[in-house]
Amino acid sequence: MSVVTSMLGVVDDVLDLTDSIADAVTGLLRGVDSSAAMVSDDALLGLLGRAETLGRAVDALRVLVAAEVGDRARPELGTESLAHRRGCGSAAELVERVTRVSSVTARARLRLGARVHRCTGFTGAPLPAAFDAVREGLVSGRLGWDAAQTITTALTVAGRGTPTDMLGGLRAAEHELVCAATGTAPAPDVAALPPVMHAETKLQAATWVEVLNPDGAEPSERDFEARHVRLLPARGGWVPITGLLAPEVAGQVQRVFDALCNPRQAGNLPEALPGRGSADADANSDGGVHAGGGAGASAGDSASAGAGADMDARFGVSVDTDGIRDPRTRAQRQHDALATVFDIAGRADELPTLGGASATILVTTLTDDFLTGTGVGHIDGVDVPIPMSAIRQHACANGAHTLELTPAGGIHRLGTEQRTFTRAQRRALAARDGGCIIPGCPIPAAATEAHHVTPWWAGGPTHVDNGVLLCWFHHRTIDTSGWEIRMIGGAPHVKPPPWLGDPVWRPATQSPTRRTAQLRRQHE
């Protein structure tokens, strides 16, 4: 029997064994599906552990086979590449088509596979893998997919900036990490400890990176090129956002979120900003309805907000300094903070213009729909329609132009009337209201929108006696949240929704000057 025939026989045996195992596992699944609810707690947890043991072995098989596929489908092989011969553009596409996994999973398997793949040398002997200890851990069935990825990724990063005299430490680090993750003794005279959790593996790997490269690794050009922020196609009426931020940029973003989502920190925002970003700035007249800004209510941090921060940490909601519960999660408050930041930036003098106008958004809708409050509108550059409530919010804060079209679709007349508060009016509103007038909301005047109490499309005047300052969140929800606003003698009064307690009218202001005047009147 030739060597080739012998090898083919081994492959056939492996395929047959794989089919037998798959059939056995399928039978096991049917049994578990029908009886899992009836087994004891101990038996259930035992089954959970054994299922993971089986899963680790299967994951290792997936990685090792994908590694060989990746090696045979190398781009430098050209038309001899396995991927090319099977009509695929890459190894990842070939894995996708054969396994029906996602492109992300296919690339991840190939990436880990390349790190643990043993190539054949000129003599025909196998060469060690880049991460041979990880490979051995996978083959043993004791090292899981997550741990293998964590170890190889961390040490790959560490290797880029590790001094030459420390490169030997990479092998020691790999050995120690694999032993800890698999519960194997790192040396004959050292007792084995139980396998660590994946979170501990991540921590240990990060520690090894710091030890091997104490000065930190400068990001490679490839890493630096990976930075991005993308707005993805709309899904379900919302636009997903994804990206990779440099650590220093992420730190800046997080500090802004902390400032706008913390009632004590938000008060530190300036009451006026230079240029078009000032609290009393006019809305820009570029023919559209512009984006508003302002985050809503807030959550305190652990150092300054007491019980509110504790509730925020446990349940994702907050109680502001006036005791009014903010129903939004931290993530929702960060979304609203983002609206504030981009509104302020869009009105700043330093920001480049687009077609001669500031970087505000253009929203279009039908006049009849706008007046009746039905239908939807569209934002330039965004595929998903937006609800009329959002359009009315933007129009209330920034005004609108009417555009009459000819039957053929040409422009017949462009209305020039703007229903926006002037610079002087916004300055007066900022002095009177001090910020968002909803009690407990910490958003200052610089980050608010001017709201018509009686909508201008319903005949309400654009006058300070009909205007109040609201943050983005409270402006967006003013018609649905239960809060009511009315003007008495030119001063705003608010009534909370019934679920917040006694729905009584009370004066509303964040202005320290007006608060002082009210207190003095009460004690005269």
Instruction: Give the residue-averaged pLDDT of 505-524.
Output: 76
Give me the long-range contacts of 300-303 (CB less than 8 A, separation at least 24): 300/262, 300/263, 300/264, 301/258, 301/262, 301/265
Give the model's confidence band at 404: pLDDT under 50 very low, under 70 low, under 90 confident, else very high: low
Using one digit for the tens of pLDDT, what is the confidence trace for 138-154? 999 999 999 999 999 99
The answer to whether residue 1 scores a pLDDT higher than 60 is no
CB 509 within 8 A of CB 492: yes
- Measured between alpha carbons, how far is 430 from 444 in angstroms, rounded to an integer? 9
Q: 61 in the Ramachandran plot: left (φ > 0), alpha (ψ -120 to 50) or beta? A: alpha
Using one digit for the tens of pLDDT, what is the confidence trace for 232-247? 888 887 889 999 887 6
- Measured between alpha carbons, how far is 367 from 519 in angstroms, rounded to an integer? 46
The answer to whether residue 485 scores a pLDDT higher than 90 is yes
The answer to whether residue 264 scores a pLDDT higher than 70 is no
- pLDDT at 262 (0 to 100): 63
Select the more confidently predicted residue: 170 or 411.
Answer: 170
Share of the chain above pLDDT 70, in %: 71
CB 320 within 8 A of CB 297: yes
Domain segments of the chain as ranges: 136-212, 250-524
CB 421 within 8 A of CB 450: yes
- pLDDT at 426 (0 to 100): 87
Using one digit for the tens of pLDDT, what is the confidence trace for 62-83? 999 999 999 999 999 999 999 9
Select the more confidently predicted residue: 442 or 48.
Answer: 48
11-20, 350-359, 491-500: least confidently modelled range: 350-359
- Measured between alpha carbons, how far is 436 from 446 in angstroms, rounded to an integer? 10
The tokens for 341 are 């930041």
Give the model's confidence band at 350: pLDDT under 50 very low, under 70 low, under 90 confident, else very high: low
- pLDDT at 413 (0 to 100): 64
Across 88-103, b (16+ Cβ under 10 Å) vs e yields bebbbbbbbeeeebee
Give the list of residues 6+ apart from residue 491 with CB closer than 8 angstroms, or none.
432, 507, 509
Instruction: Give the residue-averaged pLDDT of 120-131.
Output: 85
Burial class (CB in 10 A: 0-12, 13-18, 19+), 162: buried
- pLDDT at 467 (0 to 100): 93
- Measured between alpha carbons, how far is 451 from 17 in angstroms, rounded to an integer? 72
Beta strands 449-452 and 467-470 are: antiparallel
For the chain, the distance separating the N- and C-terminal CA atoms, rounded to the nearest angstrom, is 112
- Measured between alpha carbons, how far is 260 from 295 in angstroms, rounded to an integer? 7
Give the model's confidence band at 308: pLDDT under 50 very low, under 70 low, under 90 confident, else very high: very low
* Closest C-alpha to 469, from 517, 421, 399, 400: 421
Instruction: Give the residue-averaged pLDDT of 127-144.
Output: 94
Using one digit for the tens of pLDDT, what is the confidence trace for 272-294? 333 333 333 333 333 333 333 33
